[in-house]
Amino acid sequence: MIEAYILIQTRAGKALDAAAAISAIPGVLQVNAVTGPYDVIVRAEAGAADDLGRLVVARIQQVEGIFRTLTCPVVEL
């Protein structure tokens, strides 16, 4: 299992709609609208790195209003 934080930038005024849509996607554990350089932060999990990539590219990036994502996988140190 791999877990990641996905930092999302949205078009102006789209953060809350995007957050609501993302929260319904399987594999998404938590969604928060935030202030700063990113508009939404998502915590998600998947079975493997390839599955995580598909979750981000095929599901999250397709949500209306999103124009940039940054995926930060969690590592065990």
Q: How confident is the model at residue 65 (pLDDT cuts 50, 70, 90)?
A: very high
- Whether the model pTM is above 0.85: yes
At the top level of CATH, the class of 2-73 is: alpha beta
Is the pLDDT higher at 60 or at 77? 60
pLDDT tens track for 3-60: 999 999 999 999 999 999 999 999 999 999 999 999 999 999 999 999 999 999 999 9
Q: What is the DSSP letter of 11?
A: -
What tokens were used for 68? 């940039």
Please report, for the chain, the start and end positions of each structural domain, with discontinuous segments joined by +: 2-73
